[in-house]
Amino acid sequence: MSSLPITVMPWHKPDPCMPPKMQTPAAFKSSYLEYMSNLSIESKLLRSPLSVIMCTIGPSTNNQQSLISLMESGMSFALVQMSSGSREEVQDTIQLLQSAVSENSIAHDRVVTLATAVQLKPPGVHIGTLDRGRTVTLQAGDTFTLTTNSDWKYRCNSKFCYFDLPNAGDILNREDEIIVGNGGVRLIVDEVANNNITCNVTQSGQLLSNMKVSIPGVPLHLGAVTEQDKDDLAFISLQSNVDAVVVTSTKSAIHIIEIRRLLKSNGSDLRVLARIDSKSGIDNLNEIAREADGVVLARNELAAEIEVYKLLLSQKIAFATCNKIGKPVFVCAEYMESMLHLKNPKFSEIIDVQSAILDGADGVLLEAVTAEGHFADQAVKVVASSFREAEAAVWQNQIFDSLLLLAMPPMDPAHAISIGAVDTALKSCASAIILATTSGRAAQIVSRYRPRCPIIAVTRYGRVARQLNMWRAVISVHYISQPFPDWNKEVDVRLQMGIELGKEKKNNPSWRSDRFTKWVAPRGWVHKYYQSSVRL
């Protein structure tokens, strides 16, 4: 006698009629040991990662073909450093990114979204830009002159170099030590004459453009926001294709508040990311994360201020703090730097990336490997594959329950519906959550509860679509067709576009349309009129 068909309801955990995927047999276990012991190395994965890959653009990728390759490999967030060259060079890089996006959009027959952030120069004293971007090697015993004359700002060489310490002639004395970079080059002051500081090289090393200068024992009295920062923020605000600014060496929430004030005075609504690279930043992380739109944990710089044994704990604190309040958090370290010259990474580098995702990171920032490496696109592919494996093993059910305990009523309807969308998607093993949004807030709230499937967010606003690339699991869609006067028709068309993109992405081999959780974002929030629903 044949068995009766099983009736499957959305609250069944897991759905017995669906093939196991993304560690489903382990996902709904009630204890940590049960969860861990039921993980399988044969489990199916998503076709593309949920976490964000942010890439620093540099000499090796500063061309259109390389940028397109990075996007095809998994980059969704590009970082341009103000310290990488002159403003004209930074502007050229931003325009090149836009050109690569346009070319890639034509190839895919849809708007490809790529977020672009500009990172301010680290506070402190820095040397200028080397002539023609060359690397200079100084040998012990050489004579080397530092100058505050800005005529040398963009043409430093092995004998003469600009550094931005205007009062150097007043505060430096003979026999003072000057350290360039991370201690690679050491100088001893021999003579101070007006704008020129003549030094003897005591430790050989290489000079790179805009390296940091340290002067032990000499108080510099530098403010958090410098005049250079103000000028750079005015410049960044004029760039229409920039979506965020990264504030280096953030030590307090006041720093972020001041940056926002300056951006607002320039008529800009850029997202502000706080780069944490000091013990003060870790100590004030809760306040900083609440003021900023996201956090970048700079592990290498942090190691200079705290014991290396405490780095793991600092990382976990940063991730948990940001997860708790719903802010994106990224981590940068020497990820994949063996791939600067080699095509394959070290095993430890892959495990390091995966551990960050398991700890709660929303993504990683790749620095040297994408700025200077010979295999930048391959490194991004390795990171994307590492993400997919780690994301499948995240115990999302436990994380969701923990976040629910923090979601205390009363809350606005949009927030409540977002929680319902994630819960429904989890229990029904949905292939994706699709939503229509205007401001992007709906997608941000859904992302906060860390679903196991992608969030396809359809919006009519280009900047909103690009900025949503900061949030974990969000696949942003810039919808540019003629709008419909009927709002319900407009929403249905947008959601259908999300479904079509989902089929293209192929996150699930079947991509059955009845396995999507559809979230219609509120319309007219200002007037307190809500038109929200979850449809499965």
12, part of any domain: no
Position 73 scores a pLDDT of: 93
Q: Which residues contact 13 (CB under 8 A, 6 or more apart)?
A: 28, 427
Note whether 112 and 245 are same-domain residues: yes
Q: Are the CB atoms for 27 and 397 separated by under 8 Å?
A: yes
Q: Identify the domain containing residue 153 by its residue range.
A: 126-214
119, part of any domain: yes
The CATH number that applies at residue 175 is: 2.40.33.10
Q: Are the CB atoms for 466 and 115 separated by under 8 Å?
A: yes
Position 30 scores a pLDDT of: 82
Number of Cβ within a 10 Å radius of residue 386: 25
Q: Between the CA of residue 39 and those of 20, 36, 43, 116, 393, what are the distances in Å? A: 11, 6, 8, 37, 7
Position 271 scores a pLDDT of: 96
Nearest one of 533, 518, 534, 532 to 431, comparing CA atoms:
518
Note whether 194 and 67 are same-domain residues: no
Position 145 scores a pLDDT of: 94
- Three-state SS at 382: helix
Note whether 418 and 483 are same-domain residues: yes
Domain boundary among 365, 390, 415: 390
> CA 97, CA 89: separation in Å to the nearest integer?
12
> CA 189, CA 528: separation in Å to the nearest integer?
66
Note whether 362 and 259 are same-domain residues: yes
Nearest one of 392, 75, 120 to 246, comparing CA atoms:
120
Q: What does each of the 536 residues of the chain score in pLDDT, given as a tens digit?
A: 444 444 444 444 444 444 446 777 887 788 889 888 888 888 888 888 999 999 999 999 999 999 999 999 999 999 999 988 788 999 999 999 999 999 999 998 889 999 999 999 887 788 888 887 677 889 999 999 999 998 888 889 989 999 988 888 888 999 999 988 766 789 999 999 888 999 999 999 888 888 888 887 787 766 678 888 899 999 999 988 899 999 998 989 999 999 999 999 999 989 999 999 888 899 999 999 999 999 999 998 888 778 889 999 999 999 999 999 999 999 998 899 899 888 989 999 999 999 999 999 999 999 989 998 999 999 999 999 999 999 988 888 889 989 999 988 888 888 888 898 899 888 888 888 888 888 899 899 999 999 988 999 999 899 999 999 999 999 999 988 888 888 778 778 877 877 777 776 654 444 444 445 555 544 433 333 334 444 44
Partners of 298 in beta bridges? 332
Note whether 252 and 349 are same-domain residues: yes
315, part of any domain: yes
Note whether 255 and 381 are same-domain residues: yes
Q: Between the CA of residue 34 and those of 21, 256, 397, what are the distances in Å? A: 17, 43, 13
Phi-psi domain of 509 (left: phi exceeds 0; alpha: psi -120 through 50; beta: other): alpha
Going by their DSSP bridges, the two strands 432-436 and 516-520 should be labelled as parallel
The CATH number that applies at residue 248 is: 3.20.20.60
168, part of any domain: yes
Q: Are the CB atoms for 113 and 97 separated by under 8 Å?
A: no
Position 472 scores a pLDDT of: 95
In single-letter form, the type of residue at position 222 comes to L
Note whether 74 and 148 are same-domain residues: no
Position 7 scores a pLDDT of: 44
488, part of any domain: yes
Q: Are the CB atoms for 143 and 198 separated by under 8 Å?
A: yes
Position 21 scores a pLDDT of: 63
> CA 198, CA 147: separation in Å to the nearest integer?
9
The CATH number that applies at residue 442 is: 3.40.1380.20
Position 516 scores a pLDDT of: 54
Position 519 scores a pLDDT of: 52
pTM as predicted = 0.81
Note whether 357 and 445 are same-domain residues: no
Mean pLDDT score of the chain, rounded to an integer?
85
422, part of any domain: yes
Domain boundary among 390, 409, 437: 390
Note whether 380 and 276 are same-domain residues: yes
Q: What ranges in 147-187 are assigned the alpha helix state H?
A: 168-171
Note whether 84 and 72 are same-domain residues: yes
Position 41 scores a pLDDT of: 86
Note whether 328 and 206 are same-domain residues: no
Domain boundary among 390, 418, 442: 390
Number of domains in the chain: 3
Dihedrals φ, ψ of 162, to 5°?
-75, 145
Note whether 403 and 386 are same-domain residues: no
Position 183 scores a pLDDT of: 65
Position 182 scores a pLDDT of: 65
Q: Please report where in the chains the tokens 């350290």 appear, as a residue.
A: 179
227, part of any domain: no
279, part of any domain: yes
Position 78 scores a pLDDT of: 96
Q: Are the CB atoms for 122 and 212 separated by under 8 Å?
A: yes
Position 77 scores a pLDDT of: 96
